[in-house]
């Protein structure tokens, strides 16, 4: 799904939730006043805080789904991560307010009023409505793999849970147990605090670039190794940004294939991973030859220009420089292998041996292969 479509879908579900939160918040505050239910009034305030966080989600969602730019070349996914942490903090603050109000109610010396039966109907309606918006938002959050929308969905569920607590409190109060709604309110506050902690913890894990779990890594490796031509994986690193995974992979391929074929294999790996795993946003691939020795510092080997110049000097009296079609170097296992392509009809064994003998250990060359250039075929596009 493209970024613009994802942003529109996230915006739509958040707007629906915000409208319901506003209507429920006002309805519960008015209903709580009419039915003489302090718990219902408190729950209405909670719903209004949900509407406030919905506005916050709209702003962050718009920013996090923006296309990469010059200043944020990996996209804006981390804005969603920061937004999720902020949501977790809001959960903590909401929990603290509910706990504070509940403790103050327990300290009251004057008797609490008995709520009217109409408060039960309002609480039931709130539970049903908030549970519906929870499932709706969570479906979209999973589809878009958005932690921020998941956080908002859970915020809706906490409102449903708090409405259940209000319902229990009203029923208990009408049975003569006026303290029940206060205890239920404290229980709800602890649940909200727990969810806030989980949201902050998950997002902090993402911010410190924690790798994906081992099982997920094995799925990526299995997909990569199923592609013909990939001989192995020397390194696979992962991190998450805005709910999407970024992979960095080092692949082993045949040491003697061309650069373009190695690039093509990398493109096949990229396409296969992106198509198979919807939570991948980017795959960075590095190609290594299968004989590549990571324990050897190949930076100490002579550069191509130095090797070519030395070879031509040593071969100057043995072959015509004009007959050299190409010289290909293979830096493998801490040494250099040379492929010499000559534009000649034939080459005597004696000259071949002389060319090989002219190479000494100073150039770190361990193997010389000599080929005759028989012909070169150029295929032109029929339309050209």
Asked if 250 and 235 count as a contact pair (C-beta separation under 8 A), the reply is yes
For residue 366, give the DSSP letter.
Answer: E
Question: 132-160, pLDDT tens digit by residue?
Answer: 988 888 888 888 777 767 877 887 787 78
Which of helix, strand or coil describes residue 304?
Answer: helix
Q: Are residues 248 and 223 both part of a single domain? A: yes
Q: Are residues 135 and 177 both part of a single domain? A: yes
Q: Determine, yes or no, domain membership for 380.
A: no
Q: Are residues 141 and 16 both part of a single domain? A: yes
Q: Are residues 38 and 78 both part of a single domain? A: yes
Phi, then psi, of 367 in degrees rounded to 5: -150, 140
Residues 241-248: what's their mean pLDDT? 78
Of all residues in the chain, the percent with pLDDT exceeding 90 is 9
**Which residue range(s) make up the domain with 237?**
214-289
Pairing of strands 335-342, 324-332: antiparallel
Q: Are residues 189 and 44 both part of a single domain? A: yes
Distance CA 252, CA 43 (A): 59
First to last CA, the chain: 38
Q: Are residues 281 and 328 both part of a single domain? A: no
Residue 43 sits in a domain of what CATH number? Answer: 1.20.1510.10
pLDDT at 224 over 90: yes
Q: Are residues 54 and 158 both part of a single domain? A: yes
Under the phi-then-psi rule, with left for phi > 0, alpha for psi from -120 to 50, and beta for the rest, what region is 297? beta
Q: Are residues 260 and 134 both part of a single domain? A: no
Q: Are residues 200 and 237 both part of a single domain? A: no
- Residue that finishes a domain, picked among 289, 314, 342: 289
Total count of domains within the chain: 3
Q: Determine, yes or no, domain membership for 284.
A: yes
| 183 confidence band (pLDDT: 50, 70, 90) | confident
Q: Are residues 186 and 64 both part of a single domain? A: yes
pLDDT at 118: 83
Question: 19-30, pLDDT tens digit by residue?
Answer: 888 898 898 889
Q: Determine, yes or no, domain membership for 264.
A: yes
- Residue that finishes a domain, picked among 207, 241, 266: 207
Residue 268 sits in a domain of what CATH number? Answer: 3.30.70.1350
Question: 294-307, pLDDT tens digit by residue?
Answer: 666 667 788 888 88
Q: What is the pTM of this model?
A: 0.57
Q: Which two tokens stand for residue 374?
A: 């028989």
Asked if 369 and 340 count as a contact pair (C-beta separation under 8 A), the reply is yes
Q: Determine, yes or no, domain membership for 378.
A: no
- Residue that finishes a domain, picked among 231, 254, 289: 289
Q: Is the pLDDT higher at 84 or at 263?
A: 263
């Amino acid at each position: 799904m493209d970024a613009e479509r994802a942003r529109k879908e996230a915006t739509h579900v958040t707007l629906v939730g915000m409208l319901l939160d506003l209507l429920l918040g006002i309805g519960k505050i008015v209903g709580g006043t009419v039915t003489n239910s302090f718990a219902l009034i408190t729950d209405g305030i909670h719903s209004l805080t949900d509407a406030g966080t919905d506005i916050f989600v709209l702003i962050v969602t718009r920013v996090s789904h923006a296309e990469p730019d010059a200043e944020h070349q990996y996209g804006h996914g981390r804005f969603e991560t920061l937004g999720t942490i902020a949501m977790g903090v809001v959960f903590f603050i909401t929990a603290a307010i509910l706990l504070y109000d509940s403790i103050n109610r327990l300290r009251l010396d004057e008797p609490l009023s008995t709520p009217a039966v109409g408060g039960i109907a309002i609480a039931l309606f709130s539970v049903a409505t908030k549970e519906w918006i929870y499932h709706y938002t969570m479906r979209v959050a999973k589809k878009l793999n958005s932690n921020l929308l998941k956080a908002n969905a859970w915020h809706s569920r906490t409102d449903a849970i708090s409405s259940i607590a209000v319902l229990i409190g009203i029923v208990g109060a009408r049975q003569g147990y006026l303290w029940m709604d206060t205890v239920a309110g404290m229980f709800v506050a602890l649940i909200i605090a727990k969810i806030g902690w989980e949201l902050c913890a998950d997002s902090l894990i993402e911010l410190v670039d924690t790798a994906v779990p081992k099982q997920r890594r094995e799925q990526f490796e299995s997909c990569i190794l199923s592609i013909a031509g990939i001989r192995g994986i020397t390194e696979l690193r992962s991190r998450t940004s805005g709910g999407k995974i970024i992979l960095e992979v080092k692949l082993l391929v045949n040491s003697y294939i061309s650069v373009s074929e190695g690039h093509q294999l990398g493109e096949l790996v990229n396409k296969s991973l992106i198509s198979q795993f919807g939570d991948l946003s980017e795959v960075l691939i590095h190609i290594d030859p299968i004989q590549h020795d990571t324990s050897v510092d190949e930076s100490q080997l002579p550069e191509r220009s130095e090797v070519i110049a030395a070879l031509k000097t040593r071969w100057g009296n043995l072959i015509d420089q004009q007959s050299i079609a190409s010289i290909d170097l293979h830096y493998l296992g801490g040494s250099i292998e040379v492929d010499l392509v000559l534009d000649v009809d034939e080459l005597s064994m004696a000259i071949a041996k002389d060319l090989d003998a002219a190479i000494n250990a100073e150039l770190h060359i361990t193997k010389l292969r000599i080929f005759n250039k028989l012909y070169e075929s150029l295929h032109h596009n029929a339309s050209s």
